[in-house]
Amino acid sequence: MSEPLITYELDGNVALIGLNRPDKRNAINDPLIDELRAAVLRAHEEADVAVLFGHGSNFCAGLDLAEALARATGQIKPQRKRRRHNWHEVFDLIARGPIPFVAALHGAVVGGGLELATAAHVRVGDATALFGLPEGQRGIFVGGGGTVRIQRVVGTTVMMDMMLTGRLLNAAEGLQADVIRYTTPAGEALAKAKELAVRIAQNSIDTNWMIINVLPRIHDLSHDDGLFVEQLNSARARPPEAEARLREFVDGKAKKLQENQA
Ligand code: 1HE
């Protein structure tokens, strides 16, 4: 049997999802997207947080260019019916699903690899990480949600520069542009991502859901509609768990916030 294109492991309440096509630098083809979809849905069922990482020396080289060529030359037939782009579907399952995702990034994080990374909610990059959007050099355009997601993370100016000049950002530049929020020495991104995932898993599941689903939607609303949606959600945040957690603080038994420093 051939190796899976995606590895999956449940470590306590954290799912570890690994891109596993290192000989092709974890380039994303249709079978890999299908396996990623299955892993994400499984994590939704049984984990409270998931970590996304790449096996081998890179996170992900983006779109499988050989498959893209086969499609462009008609060797892969287009589907008879129009349907939602499979990357949009799967990346949205990550970005707007029931659980937060932490991405551990190293080596090349380019094109669709960066689109996938920005579907995650917290991103860690090690010292080897390089972020880029080489679509211009390949004669194609971003298609995995990057115009929406990457543009919101780094802003139009940075994204346009990355796309027009093909410039790669290193870890320090990625940190400055908010592509990542944490950097580590080489080889340590996954350990840091796991540590953050364990910490995130200690939050209320309900609040985590609101953070990843309500916050980005409010970002897209007007001031007035945003405050309205905030009120609907904050009024709803009073499950028995909230009462227990509030009581824990009032009784002086809650963990000190200072323990959460990066
Ligand atoms: C690939 C791919 C790929 C590597 N599709 N096969 N993405 C890109 O434009 C990035 C293309 N890749 C690279 O620039 C480099 O491979 C890397 C910088 C990522 C890594 O370099 P290196 O020297 O470690 O590896 P390599 O020798 O270039 O590649 C090793 C093998 O992986 C080789 O195959 P082999 O059979 O000859 O060993 C490569 O062909 C293969 N490989 N990357 C297919 N991307 C929905 S829109 C999204 C738009 C995009 O993502 S555009 C960006 C596409």
pLDDT digits (tens, 9 = 90+) for 76-107: 998 899 999 999 999 999 999 999 999 999 99
Residue 31 has pLDDT above 80, yes or no: yes
Q: What's the whole-number mean pLDDT along residues 191-211?
A: 96
What is the residue type of 102?
Answer: V
Contacts of 155 (CB under 8 A, 6+ apart): 177
Residue 130 has pLDDT above 90, yes or no: yes
Ligand 1 site-directed mutation target among 65, 114, 141, 168, most atoms within 8 Å of CB: 65
Confidence (pLDDT) at 1: 66
135 is catalytic: yes
Interval 203-247: pLDDT, tens: 999 999 999 999 999 999 999 999 999 999 987 656 788 889 989
Q: How big is the chain, counted in residues?
A: 262
Confidence (pLDDT) at 99: 98
Neighbour count for residue 105 (Cβ, 10 Å): 35
Residue 16 has pLDDT above 90, yes or no: yes
Q: What pTM does this model have?
A: 0.96
Q: What percent of the chain has pLDDT over 70?
A: 98
Confidence (pLDDT) at 236: 67
CA angle at 188 for the pair 95 and 173, rounded to the nearest 5°: 65
| Cα 63 to averaged position of ligand 1 atoms, centre (Å) | 8
Q: What's the whole-number mean pLDDT along residues 186-197?
A: 98
What number does the ligand 1 atom closest to the CA of 137 have? 9
Range name among 33-47, 67-81, 158-172 with the lowest pLDDT average: 67-81
Q: What's the whole-number mean pLDDT along residues 172-181?
A: 98
Per the CB < 8 A criterion, the answer to whether 20 and 26 are in contact is yes
Ligand 1 site-directed mutation target among 25, 65, 162, most atoms within 8 Å of CB: 25
Strands (E) located in 111-189: 122-126, 130-132, 169-170, 182-184
Confidence (pLDDT) at 168: 98
Summary mean pLDDT of the chain: 95
Q: Which is the catalytic residue, given 3, 45, 67, 135?
A: 135
Q: What's the whole-number mean pLDDT along residues 161-188?
A: 98
The residue with greater pLDDT, 14 or 260, is: 14
| Cα 164 to averaged position of ligand 1 atoms, centre (Å) | 19
Among candidates 141, 98, 142, which has minimal Cα distance to 121? 98
Confidence (pLDDT) at 161: 98
Q: Which residue owns the Cα nearest ligand 1 atom 46?
A: 143
Residues with CB under 6 A from ligand 1: 24-25, 27, 58, 61-66, 87, 108, 110-112, 134-135, 138, 140, 142-144
What number does the ligand 1 atom closest to the CA of 68 have? 5
Q: Which residue owns the Cα nearest ligand 1 atom 23?
A: 25
195 is catalytic: no
**Domain regions of the chain by residue span:** 6-201, 221-260
Residue 190 has pLDDT above 80, yes or no: yes
Among candidates 32, 41, 44, which has minimal Cα distance to 6? 32
Confidence (pLDDT) at 79: 87
Q: Which is the catalytic residue, given 115, 173, 248, 259?
A: 115
Range name among 43-47, 108-112, 141-145, 252-256 with the lowest pLDDT average: 252-256
CATH number of the domain at 6-201, out of 3.30.360.10, 3.90.226.10, 3.10.290.10, 3.40.640.10? 3.90.226.10
Which of the 8 DSSP states describes residue 141?
-
Q: Which residue owns the Cα nearest ligand 1 atom 43?
A: 61
Helix (H) or strand (E) holding 108: strand 108-110
